[in-house]
Amino acid sequence: MDQSITTKIDVNYFLFLFKHKHLAPRTISKSIISIYKNLKDINLKFIFYIFFNDVCPMIECPGEFENIKNNTKIVDRIGNKIFEEEQPTKYDINLIIKSLKLTNKVYVNADTRLNTTLSPCNALHITNLLLILEKNIADLFFYDTDYFVFINSNLRYLDKINLLKNSESLSPFTLNILLSLKVNDVPNQHIEIYQFLNSIGTCQIENMKKLESKNINHVKLGNDLLYFENQHLKLLYNCFLALYPEIKYTSVKNSNRIKFFKNPLKIDLDVKTLKIYIPVVLENLKNDFPHLKNSLIDVLFRLIYIERLLKNKPAKTEYKLIHSLILDSSQVVVALVGRRFNESLIEGMVKYVPSMFIAFDIALKMYFKSKCVFYLKLMSALLKKYPTRNNFKKIKDHMNYLPPTFIMEFNKKLNLL
Protein backbone atom coordinates (compact mmCIF):
# COMPACT_ATOMS: atom_id res chain seq x y z
CA MET A 1 0.00 0.00 0.00
CA ASP A 2 1.39 3.43 -0.97
CA GLN A 3 2.40 5.71 1.88
CA SER A 4 0.67 8.61 0.06
CA ILE A 5 -2.74 7.10 0.78
CA THR A 6 -2.14 6.91 4.51
CA THR A 7 -0.27 10.14 5.07
CA LYS A 8 -1.01 10.29 8.80
CA ILE A 9 -1.55 6.60 9.51
CA ASP A 10 1.00 3.89 10.10
CA VAL A 11 0.68 1.58 7.11
CA ASN A 12 1.49 -1.58 9.05
CA TYR A 13 -1.07 -0.75 11.70
CA PHE A 14 -3.69 -0.08 9.03
CA LEU A 15 -2.95 -3.50 7.51
CA PHE A 16 -3.17 -5.11 10.94
CA LEU A 17 -6.62 -3.60 11.54
CA PHE A 18 -7.83 -4.67 8.11
CA LYS A 19 -6.61 -8.27 8.41
CA HIS A 20 -8.06 -8.73 11.92
CA LYS A 21 -11.31 -6.79 11.62
CA HIS A 22 -13.41 -9.97 11.50
CA LEU A 23 -11.44 -11.82 14.17
CA ALA A 24 -12.06 -9.34 16.96
CA PRO A 25 -14.66 -6.92 15.62
CA ARG A 26 -15.43 -5.17 18.92
CA THR A 27 -11.82 -4.53 19.87
CA ILE A 28 -10.79 -3.62 16.36
CA SER A 29 -13.84 -1.39 15.89
CA LYS A 30 -12.83 0.79 18.82
CA SER A 31 -9.38 1.34 17.33
CA ILE A 32 -10.79 1.99 13.87
CA ILE A 33 -13.39 4.49 15.08
CA SER A 34 -10.80 6.25 17.25
CA ILE A 35 -8.54 6.76 14.25
CA TYR A 36 -11.42 7.70 11.93
CA LYS A 37 -12.68 10.46 14.25
CA ASN A 38 -9.28 12.14 14.20
CA LEU A 39 -8.94 12.08 10.42
CA LYS A 40 -9.20 15.40 8.62
CA ASP A 41 -8.30 14.17 5.14
CA ILE A 42 -11.49 13.20 3.30
CA ASN A 43 -9.54 10.85 1.03
CA LEU A 44 -8.42 8.85 4.06
CA LYS A 45 -11.95 8.86 5.40
CA PHE A 46 -13.19 7.36 2.16
CA ILE A 47 -10.49 4.67 2.28
CA PHE A 48 -11.59 3.83 5.83
CA TYR A 49 -15.20 3.70 4.67
CA ILE A 50 -14.35 1.16 1.94
CA PHE A 51 -12.34 -1.11 4.20
CA PHE A 52 -14.13 -0.89 7.53
CA ASN A 53 -17.77 0.12 6.98
CA ASP A 54 -18.82 -3.55 6.99
CA VAL A 55 -17.71 -3.97 10.62
CA CYS A 56 -18.14 -0.35 11.71
CA PRO A 57 -21.40 1.12 10.34
CA MET A 58 -20.56 4.32 12.21
CA ILE A 59 -17.91 5.01 9.59
CA GLU A 60 -19.70 7.05 6.97
CA CYS A 61 -18.74 7.96 3.45
CA PRO A 62 -17.81 11.65 3.07
CA GLY A 63 -20.54 13.49 1.16
CA GLU A 64 -18.09 14.50 -1.55
CA PHE A 65 -17.73 10.83 -2.52
CA GLU A 66 -21.38 9.76 -2.64
CA ASN A 67 -21.13 9.31 -6.39
CA ILE A 68 -18.06 7.08 -6.40
CA LYS A 69 -19.39 5.17 -3.38
CA ASN A 70 -22.18 3.85 -5.60
CA ASN A 71 -19.71 2.72 -8.23
CA THR A 72 -19.25 -0.86 -7.05
CA LYS A 73 -16.90 -1.55 -9.96
CA ILE A 74 -14.35 1.01 -8.74
CA VAL A 75 -14.93 0.31 -5.04
CA ASP A 76 -14.44 -3.44 -5.50
CA ARG A 77 -11.30 -2.80 -7.52
CA ILE A 78 -9.89 -0.66 -4.74
CA GLY A 79 -10.76 -3.22 -2.10
CA ASN A 80 -9.29 -6.12 -4.05
CA LYS A 81 -6.14 -4.56 -5.47
CA ILE A 82 -4.83 -1.85 -3.20
CA PHE A 83 -2.81 -4.23 -1.02
CA GLU A 84 -1.61 -6.52 -3.79
CA GLU A 85 1.83 -6.36 -5.41
CA GLU A 86 0.86 -8.39 -8.49
CA GLN A 87 1.44 -7.09 -12.00
CA PRO A 88 -1.56 -5.19 -13.38
CA THR A 89 -3.55 -6.51 -16.32
CA LYS A 90 -1.81 -5.97 -19.65
CA TYR A 91 -3.64 -3.83 -22.17
CA ASP A 92 -3.06 -3.50 -25.90
CA ILE A 93 -1.38 -0.21 -26.84
CA ASN A 94 -4.19 0.63 -29.29
CA LEU A 95 -6.76 0.22 -26.52
CA ILE A 96 -4.66 2.41 -24.23
CA ILE A 97 -4.46 5.21 -26.79
CA LYS A 98 -8.17 4.93 -27.62
CA SER A 99 -9.09 5.11 -23.92
CA LEU A 100 -6.86 8.11 -23.25
CA LYS A 101 -8.46 9.99 -26.15
CA LEU A 102 -12.00 9.26 -24.98
CA THR A 103 -12.78 12.73 -23.62
CA ASN A 104 -16.24 13.55 -24.92
CA LYS A 105 -18.72 10.71 -24.61
CA VAL A 106 -22.51 11.01 -24.35
CA TYR A 107 -23.96 8.55 -21.85
CA VAL A 108 -27.46 7.40 -22.71
CA ASN A 109 -27.60 4.16 -20.73
CA ALA A 110 -29.24 3.62 -17.37
CA ASP A 111 -25.94 3.32 -15.50
CA THR A 112 -26.38 5.34 -12.31
CA ARG A 113 -22.64 5.96 -12.20
CA LEU A 114 -22.84 8.02 -15.36
CA ASN A 115 -26.33 9.52 -15.43
CA THR A 116 -26.35 11.16 -12.00
CA THR A 117 -25.83 14.87 -11.46
CA LEU A 118 -22.38 15.66 -10.15
CA SER A 119 -21.29 19.07 -8.98
CA PRO A 120 -17.95 20.41 -10.27
CA CYS A 121 -16.76 20.68 -6.68
CA ASN A 122 -17.42 17.00 -5.95
CA ALA A 123 -16.00 16.05 -9.35
CA LEU A 124 -12.75 17.74 -8.28
CA HIS A 125 -12.72 15.88 -4.95
CA ILE A 126 -13.26 12.55 -6.73
CA THR A 127 -10.56 13.44 -9.26
CA ASN A 128 -8.00 14.05 -6.51
CA LEU A 129 -8.95 10.75 -4.91
CA LEU A 130 -8.67 8.84 -8.19
CA LEU A 131 -5.27 10.37 -8.91
CA ILE A 132 -4.02 9.09 -5.55
CA LEU A 133 -5.51 5.65 -6.14
CA GLU A 134 -3.89 5.41 -9.58
CA LYS A 135 -0.49 5.34 -7.90
CA ASN A 136 -1.47 2.05 -6.28
CA ILE A 137 -3.69 0.57 -8.97
CA ALA A 138 -2.00 1.10 -12.32
CA ASP A 139 -4.89 -0.18 -14.42
CA LEU A 140 -7.72 1.58 -12.55
CA PHE A 141 -8.39 4.03 -15.39
CA PHE A 142 -8.59 1.26 -17.99
CA TYR A 143 -10.69 -0.91 -15.69
CA ASP A 144 -13.54 1.61 -15.81
CA THR A 145 -12.64 4.24 -18.40
CA ASP A 146 -16.25 5.41 -18.82
CA TYR A 147 -16.41 6.50 -15.20
CA PHE A 148 -13.17 8.46 -15.40
CA VAL A 149 -14.40 10.21 -18.55
CA PHE A 150 -17.66 11.01 -16.78
CA ILE A 151 -15.75 12.62 -13.90
CA ASN A 152 -13.55 14.50 -16.38
CA SER A 153 -16.62 15.87 -18.17
CA ASN A 154 -17.95 17.30 -14.89
CA LEU A 155 -14.78 19.16 -13.95
CA ARG A 156 -14.54 22.91 -14.35
CA TYR A 157 -12.27 23.80 -17.25
CA LEU A 158 -10.11 26.00 -15.02
CA ASP A 159 -9.77 23.17 -12.48
CA LYS A 160 -8.42 20.92 -15.23
CA ILE A 161 -5.76 23.47 -16.15
CA ASN A 162 -4.73 23.98 -12.53
CA LEU A 163 -4.57 20.22 -11.91
CA LEU A 164 -2.18 19.78 -14.82
CA LYS A 165 -0.05 22.78 -13.92
CA ASN A 166 0.53 21.31 -10.47
CA SER A 167 0.97 17.68 -11.51
CA GLU A 168 4.50 16.36 -11.00
CA SER A 169 3.88 13.22 -13.05
CA LEU A 170 1.22 12.15 -15.50
CA SER A 171 -1.12 9.21 -15.01
CA PRO A 172 -3.72 7.77 -17.42
CA PHE A 173 -6.39 10.00 -15.86
CA THR A 174 -4.32 13.18 -16.05
CA LEU A 175 -3.55 12.39 -19.70
CA ASN A 176 -7.27 11.99 -20.32
CA ILE A 177 -7.86 15.38 -18.69
CA LEU A 178 -4.97 16.86 -20.68
CA LEU A 179 -6.49 15.73 -23.98
CA SER A 180 -9.78 17.43 -23.12
CA LEU A 181 -8.06 20.84 -23.17
CA LYS A 182 -7.65 23.22 -26.09
CA VAL A 183 -4.07 23.41 -27.29
CA ASN A 184 -3.62 27.04 -26.19
CA ASP A 185 -4.54 26.10 -22.61
CA VAL A 186 -2.12 23.20 -22.26
CA PRO A 187 0.60 23.86 -19.64
CA ASN A 188 4.03 24.27 -21.24
CA GLN A 189 5.53 21.24 -19.49
CA HIS A 190 2.94 18.96 -21.11
CA ILE A 191 2.69 20.38 -24.63
CA GLU A 192 4.94 17.70 -26.17
CA ILE A 193 2.88 14.79 -24.85
CA TYR A 194 -0.35 16.58 -25.79
CA GLN A 195 0.79 17.04 -29.40
CA PHE A 196 2.18 13.50 -29.51
CA LEU A 197 -1.05 11.82 -28.41
CA ASN A 198 -3.14 13.98 -30.72
CA SER A 199 -0.87 13.11 -33.65
CA ILE A 200 -1.02 9.34 -33.26
CA GLY A 201 -3.26 7.85 -35.93
CA THR A 202 -2.98 4.94 -38.33
CA CYS A 203 -0.51 6.01 -41.01
CA GLN A 204 3.09 6.14 -39.80
CA ILE A 205 4.24 8.77 -42.30
CA GLU A 206 1.21 10.97 -41.59
CA ASN A 207 1.90 10.70 -37.86
CA MET A 208 5.48 11.84 -38.48
CA LYS A 209 4.30 14.77 -40.59
CA LYS A 210 1.84 15.88 -37.92
CA LEU A 211 4.50 15.86 -35.22
CA GLU A 212 7.05 17.63 -37.41
CA SER A 213 4.52 20.37 -38.15
CA LYS A 214 4.15 21.01 -34.41
CA ASN A 215 7.88 21.66 -34.06
CA ILE A 216 8.00 19.97 -30.67
CA ASN A 217 11.05 19.14 -28.57
CA HIS A 218 11.35 15.45 -29.46
CA VAL A 219 14.15 14.85 -26.94
CA LYS A 220 11.99 16.12 -24.06
CA LEU A 221 9.05 14.11 -25.38
CA GLY A 222 11.14 10.94 -25.44
CA ASN A 223 12.36 11.51 -21.89
CA ASP A 224 8.84 12.24 -20.62
CA LEU A 225 7.51 9.04 -22.16
CA LEU A 226 10.47 6.92 -21.10
CA TYR A 227 10.12 7.84 -17.44
CA PHE A 228 6.38 7.35 -16.99
CA GLU A 229 5.71 5.71 -13.63
CA ASN A 230 2.56 3.95 -14.82
CA GLN A 231 3.41 0.60 -16.41
CA HIS A 232 0.75 0.90 -19.08
CA LEU A 233 1.88 4.36 -20.16
CA LYS A 234 5.43 3.08 -20.61
CA LEU A 235 4.12 1.33 -23.75
CA LEU A 236 3.70 4.76 -25.34
CA TYR A 237 7.48 4.98 -25.61
CA ASN A 238 7.34 2.22 -28.24
CA CYS A 239 5.01 4.44 -30.29
CA PHE A 240 7.50 7.27 -29.91
CA LEU A 241 10.35 5.05 -31.13
CA ALA A 242 8.27 4.13 -34.17
CA LEU A 243 7.99 7.83 -35.04
CA TYR A 244 11.51 8.85 -33.99
CA PRO A 245 13.59 5.66 -34.33
CA GLU A 246 16.76 7.68 -34.85
CA ILE A 247 16.60 8.82 -31.22
CA LYS A 248 18.40 5.54 -30.40
CA TYR A 249 21.46 6.87 -32.22
CA THR A 250 21.29 10.66 -32.02
CA SER A 251 19.34 13.50 -30.46
CA VAL A 252 19.60 15.55 -33.66
CA LYS A 253 16.82 15.32 -36.24
CA ASN A 254 17.66 15.51 -39.92
CA SER A 255 15.56 18.12 -41.73
CA ASN A 256 14.87 15.58 -44.49
CA ARG A 257 13.88 12.73 -42.17
CA ILE A 258 10.31 12.49 -43.49
CA LYS A 259 11.64 12.18 -47.03
CA PHE A 260 13.94 9.33 -45.96
CA PHE A 261 11.08 7.34 -44.42
CA LYS A 262 8.71 8.10 -47.27
CA ASN A 263 11.27 7.15 -49.93
CA PRO A 264 13.99 4.91 -48.43
CA LEU A 265 16.20 5.27 -51.52
CA LYS A 266 16.52 9.04 -51.01
CA ILE A 267 18.76 9.05 -47.92
CA ASP A 268 21.53 11.64 -48.29
CA LEU A 269 24.95 10.16 -49.14
CA ASP A 270 26.49 11.54 -45.99
CA VAL A 271 28.30 9.16 -43.63
CA LYS A 272 26.61 10.34 -40.42
CA THR A 273 23.19 10.42 -42.05
CA LEU A 274 23.55 6.98 -43.61
CA LYS A 275 24.89 5.47 -40.39
CA ILE A 276 21.78 6.60 -38.52
CA TYR A 277 19.03 6.28 -41.10
CA ILE A 278 19.87 3.05 -42.96
CA PRO A 279 19.06 0.81 -39.94
CA VAL A 280 16.06 2.86 -38.76
CA VAL A 281 14.50 3.19 -42.22
CA LEU A 282 14.94 -0.56 -42.67
CA GLU A 283 13.24 -1.19 -39.33
CA ASN A 284 10.41 1.14 -40.30
CA LEU A 285 9.96 -0.68 -43.62
CA LYS A 286 9.63 -4.02 -41.85
CA ASN A 287 7.12 -2.59 -39.38
CA ASP A 288 5.01 -1.18 -42.19
CA PHE A 289 5.33 -4.32 -44.32
CA PRO A 290 5.62 -7.37 -42.01
CA HIS A 291 6.03 -9.75 -44.96
CA LEU A 292 9.47 -8.20 -45.55
CA LYS A 293 10.83 -9.37 -42.19
CA ASN A 294 11.98 -12.73 -43.53
CA SER A 295 13.08 -11.41 -46.91
CA LEU A 296 16.46 -10.26 -48.23
CA ILE A 297 15.42 -6.60 -47.99
CA ASP A 298 18.33 -5.93 -45.59
CA VAL A 299 20.86 -7.22 -48.13
CA LEU A 300 19.34 -5.35 -51.05
CA PHE A 301 18.97 -2.09 -49.14
CA ARG A 302 22.52 -2.09 -47.76
CA LEU A 303 23.97 -3.19 -51.09
CA ILE A 304 22.32 -0.27 -52.90
CA TYR A 305 23.92 2.28 -50.58
CA ILE A 306 27.32 0.54 -50.52
CA GLU A 307 27.44 0.61 -54.31
CA ARG A 308 26.46 4.29 -54.29
CA LEU A 309 29.35 5.02 -51.94
CA LEU A 310 31.72 3.04 -54.16
CA LYS A 311 30.81 4.99 -57.30
CA ASN A 312 33.13 7.77 -56.18
CA LYS A 313 36.47 7.05 -54.55
CA PRO A 314 35.44 6.53 -50.91
CA ALA A 315 37.19 8.27 -48.04
CA LYS A 316 38.37 6.31 -45.00
CA THR A 317 35.21 7.23 -43.07
CA GLU A 318 33.06 5.89 -45.90
CA TYR A 319 34.98 2.61 -45.89
CA LYS A 320 34.28 2.36 -42.15
CA LEU A 321 30.58 2.83 -42.82
CA ILE A 322 30.70 0.09 -45.46
CA HIS A 323 32.34 -2.17 -42.87
CA SER A 324 29.51 -1.58 -40.38
CA LEU A 325 26.88 -2.23 -43.04
CA ILE A 326 28.53 -5.53 -43.96
CA LEU A 327 28.92 -6.55 -40.31
CA ASP A 328 25.16 -6.34 -39.79
CA SER A 329 24.54 -8.76 -42.67
CA SER A 330 27.31 -11.06 -43.96
CA GLN A 331 25.17 -11.88 -46.99
CA VAL A 332 25.95 -8.39 -48.25
CA VAL A 333 29.52 -9.57 -48.95
CA VAL A 334 28.23 -12.40 -51.14
CA ALA A 335 26.09 -9.99 -53.15
CA LEU A 336 28.79 -7.31 -53.31
CA VAL A 337 31.52 -9.69 -54.51
CA GLY A 338 29.12 -11.39 -56.88
CA ARG A 339 28.19 -8.09 -58.53
CA ARG A 340 31.81 -6.86 -58.43
CA PHE A 341 33.00 -3.28 -57.97
CA ASN A 342 35.72 -1.17 -59.58
CA GLU A 343 39.07 -3.00 -59.41
CA SER A 344 40.78 0.23 -58.33
CA LEU A 345 38.83 0.03 -55.06
CA ILE A 346 39.98 -3.49 -54.13
CA GLU A 347 42.99 -2.25 -52.15
CA GLY A 348 40.91 0.23 -50.14
CA MET A 349 38.14 -2.29 -49.50
CA VAL A 350 40.60 -4.88 -48.17
CA LYS A 351 42.60 -2.33 -46.17
CA TYR A 352 39.77 -0.40 -44.49
CA VAL A 353 36.91 -2.92 -44.46
CA PRO A 354 37.91 -5.78 -42.09
CA SER A 355 34.62 -7.56 -42.73
CA MET A 356 35.85 -8.25 -46.28
CA PHE A 357 38.01 -10.96 -44.71
CA ILE A 358 35.21 -13.43 -45.35
CA ALA A 359 35.25 -12.61 -49.08
CA PHE A 360 38.15 -14.98 -49.88
CA ASP A 361 36.08 -18.16 -50.15
CA ILE A 362 33.40 -16.29 -52.09
CA ALA A 363 35.94 -14.90 -54.57
CA LEU A 364 37.51 -18.34 -55.06
CA LYS A 365 34.15 -19.91 -55.91
CA MET A 366 33.18 -17.00 -58.15
CA TYR A 367 36.45 -17.28 -60.09
CA PHE A 368 35.88 -20.96 -60.86
CA LYS A 369 32.48 -20.05 -62.30
CA SER A 370 33.41 -16.92 -64.27
CA LYS A 371 37.22 -16.89 -64.68
CA CYS A 372 36.98 -13.13 -64.08
CA VAL A 373 40.28 -11.37 -63.27
CA PHE A 374 38.50 -9.27 -60.63
CA TYR A 375 38.33 -12.28 -58.33
CA LEU A 376 42.03 -13.08 -58.75
CA LYS A 377 42.92 -9.51 -57.78
CA LEU A 378 40.60 -9.63 -54.79
CA MET A 379 42.06 -12.95 -53.59
CA SER A 380 45.59 -11.60 -54.07
CA ALA A 381 44.84 -8.53 -51.95
CA LEU A 382 43.20 -10.65 -49.25
CA LEU A 383 46.13 -13.10 -49.13
CA LYS A 384 48.55 -10.21 -48.67
CA LYS A 385 46.43 -8.60 -45.96
CA TYR A 386 45.46 -11.86 -44.25
CA PRO A 387 48.14 -14.50 -45.07
CA THR A 388 46.44 -17.33 -43.23
CA ARG A 389 47.60 -20.91 -43.57
CA ASN A 390 44.04 -22.01 -44.26
CA ASN A 391 43.65 -19.71 -47.28
CA PHE A 392 47.02 -20.70 -48.76
CA LYS A 393 46.06 -24.35 -48.37
CA LYS A 394 42.91 -23.69 -50.41
CA ILE A 395 45.06 -22.14 -53.16
CA LYS A 396 47.43 -25.13 -53.15
CA ASP A 397 44.50 -27.54 -53.34
CA HIS A 398 43.23 -25.75 -56.46
CA MET A 399 46.57 -24.94 -58.13
CA ASN A 400 45.60 -26.73 -61.33
CA TYR A 401 42.59 -24.43 -61.81
CA LEU A 402 44.37 -21.13 -61.17
CA PRO A 403 46.62 -19.12 -63.58
CA PRO A 404 50.39 -19.80 -63.22
CA THR A 405 51.07 -16.08 -62.77
CA PHE A 406 48.80 -16.05 -59.71
CA ILE A 407 50.49 -19.16 -58.29
CA MET A 408 53.96 -17.68 -58.88
CA GLU A 409 53.02 -14.59 -56.88
CA PHE A 410 52.63 -16.70 -53.75
CA ASN A 411 55.03 -19.53 -54.61
CA LYS A 412 57.23 -19.03 -51.55
CA LYS A 413 54.29 -19.24 -49.18
CA LEU A 414 52.87 -22.26 -50.97
CA ASN A 415 56.18 -24.13 -50.79
CA LEU A 416 56.16 -23.82 -47.02
CA LEU A 417 52.93 -25.82 -46.74
Closest CA to 295 of 304, 287, 303, 286: 286
φ/ψ of 68, rounded to 5, equals -70, -25
Check residue 6 and give its pLDDT.
44
φ/ψ of 264, rounded to 5, equals -60, -20
Residues of the chain short of pLDDT 70, as ranges, are: 1-9, 24, 81-88, 104-115, 202, 412-417
Check residue 122 and give its pLDDT.
95
Check residue 27 and give its pLDDT.
76
Handedness of CA 182, 184, 188, 194 (dihedral sign): positive
Check residue 5 and give its pLDDT.
46
Separation between Cα atoms, residue 375 and residue 358, nearest integer Å: 13
Closest CA to 161 of 184, 143, 129: 184
Check residue 107 and give its pLDDT.
52
CA distances from 105 to 122, 194, 197, 336, 378 (A): 20, 19, 18, 58, 70
Closest CA to 138 of 225, 14, 228: 228
Type of residue found at 358:
I
CA distances from 358 to 164, 314, 334, 352, 384 (A): 59, 21, 9, 14, 14
Q: How many CA atoms lie within 13 A of 213 on its CB side?
A: 8
**Taking all residues of the chain, what is their mean pLDDT, rounded to a whole number?**
87
